[in-house]
Structure 1
């Protein structure tokens, strides 16, 4: 059950509108393409989640605050007695990890480590849940949605789901035992109110 829909980011709407009417400066053009690709990846993942049982609660695109710190979660799933955080990446091409740093293989340039964002979101969500009086386990995953993505030298224990693993991962989610739905709905309402 989708409890919070995903809407197109305002910044993407504005840049799309402007790009149709004028030539964007390179920095804005790159941002526009980045946002467009990211949003497409999130929509793809949304479609993949449609096959989950109705007992699963899906909250998309949450902007939350813990203390005075804001954080964003692409997709949050409440299934059984567990909360799943999904950070969706629509990366394309070859990447590698070296000394816990992420690089593009083509350009050999360092990119932001997506695990750091995932860990930050998990820590801040845990604090927020504590404020709400919930002590549920949180499982966080990077979702690499693009079939043209390859990551080399990844540790075996990286919390990531690669394109070739997505179908199996979704089957595991479908088999999570149901929990008390009213409790999960109450939590979903509190998270929606906080967003």
Structure 2
């Protein structure tokens, strides 16, 4: 009922990574965000054959008791809710007491604490709405190159080498989608927040960003237009100009939502890859024109 989409924070980090040199801190944040999203997508593929008769809600951003919390995936069965916290950790880690460490001795956030927090907040949110349901929390690791040493036996952790066995357990669940679970799912969807007020994107300015139209294969800037085809001088990839420029406009809207979309603005932002006449035609075709003459700008068409 709620599919996974690329988080806005990751979209911004991607766009900035292609157009400027990120600081080490922001670069690490970007790499971790990409790996996290990759793990969640792998989890979706793994779960997909098992969801018959169940309801799946991905990327829920909720608030309870003035606390914002994000849930990677919820699986609603006939009897309960399985709350998945998905991790894509790679490499060797170990536990000492309640602390988690990399083999280099660096302390990392304990994902069991995050799982517990999400479970408590979700239970409180449901109870507040008069919905008392059993919540089964699961911390699931998707990367086969992950290893955790000194792991306790009791915590609800599914390791990569346990995925096949856990799949068999889920297959035995003969759930069916009933009105009660549909109602709960719709209620949770109605509480979903579109934006995370705690999200912190890197600071950036228009003038410091490289202007151009980005090749989707190698993420370098297109340099050549042959008739209607853009040719990448780096990887040799080709693409019709229209989807490429539309993607460039989408980046512009993402990074600078308050800037008006005009022919001149997009011509500059796209690195003058195509002519102003071509951009004007593309804008007229795909966007709503507002005003006329030198002050003309464009907005997204509202679908009716």
Smaller-chain TM-score bracket: over 0.9
Q: Are 2:154 and 1:184 aligned?
A: no
Alignment of 1:162-173 (within 5 A): 162-173=159-170
Give the alignment's TM-score, normalised by structure 2. Answer: 0.62
* Number of the residue aligned with 2:75: 77
* Number of the residue aligned with 1:116: 113
State how far apart, in whole Å, the 2-side matches of 1:98 and 1:118 are.
18
Preserved CA contact (<8 Å) 2:82 2:137: yes
* Number of the residue aligned with 2:18: 20
State how far apart, in whole Å, the 1-side matches of 2:172 and 2:54 are.
11
Q: How many residues align?
A: 192
* Number of the residue aligned with 2:154: 157
Preserved CA contact (<8 Å) 1:80 1:176: no
* Number of the residue aligned with 1:135: 132
Give the alignment's TM-score, normalised by structure 1. Answer: 0.95
Cα RMSD (Å): 1.1
CA shift in 2, pair 1:177/1:132, >3 Å: farther
Greater relative CO, 1 or 2 (CA 8 Å, sep 6+): 1
* Number of the residue aligned with 2:203: none
For the pair shown, which has the larger CA radius of gyration, 1 or 2? 2
Structure with greater strand percent: 1
CA shift in 2, pair 1:53/1:46, >3 Å: closer
Q: 1:6 aligns with which of 4, 7, 15?
A: 4
Q: Which runs of 5+ in 1 are unaligned?
A: none
Q: Secondary structure at the match of 1:33?
A: helix
CA shift in 2, pair 1:146/1:188, >3 Å: same
